[in-house]
């Protein structure tokens, strides 16, 4: 709120975007992958949009084992299989 107040104080127009999340760690990447690749919703209050370019990039990144290990998908798949 401090940022909004400061923008108001100096006469800047503020445009609020819909609530969303940052993707800056493994957990957030897994949430994003669920949305983009599997159609899972991040929140029942928010509607996801199609993201074909993001999906293509994620599929390309995920085609290598090293990337899957780094983002924790190998462990998740192993848990699901057991």
pLDDT in tens, 31-63: 888 888 888 887 887 777 788 998 898 888 888
Terminal Cα-to-Cα distance of the chain (whole angstroms): 46
pLDDT, residue 27, reads 83
Closest CA to 74 of 24, 26, 36: 26
- How sure is the predictor about 15, in pLDDT bands with cuts at 50, 70 and 90? very high
Across the range 3-9, mean pLDDT stands at 93
- Report the distance separating Cα 73 and Cα 28, nearest Å: 12
Instruction: Compute the 3-state secondary structure of the chain and give helix, strand, coil in percent, each to the nearest 5.
Output: 55, 0, 45
% residues pLDDT > 70 (the chain): 89
pLDDT, residue 6, reads 95
């Amino acid at each position: 709120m401090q940022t909004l107040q400061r923008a108001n104080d100096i006469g800047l127009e503020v445009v609020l975007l819909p609530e969303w999340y940052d993707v800056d760690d493994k957990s957030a990447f897994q949430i994003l992958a669920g949305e983009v690749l599997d159609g899972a919703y991040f929140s029942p209050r928010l509607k996801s949009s199609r993201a074909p370019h993001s999906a293509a990039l994620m599929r390309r990144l995920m085609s290598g084992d090293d990337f899957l290990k780094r983002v924790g998908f190998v462990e998740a798949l192993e848990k699901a299989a057991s």
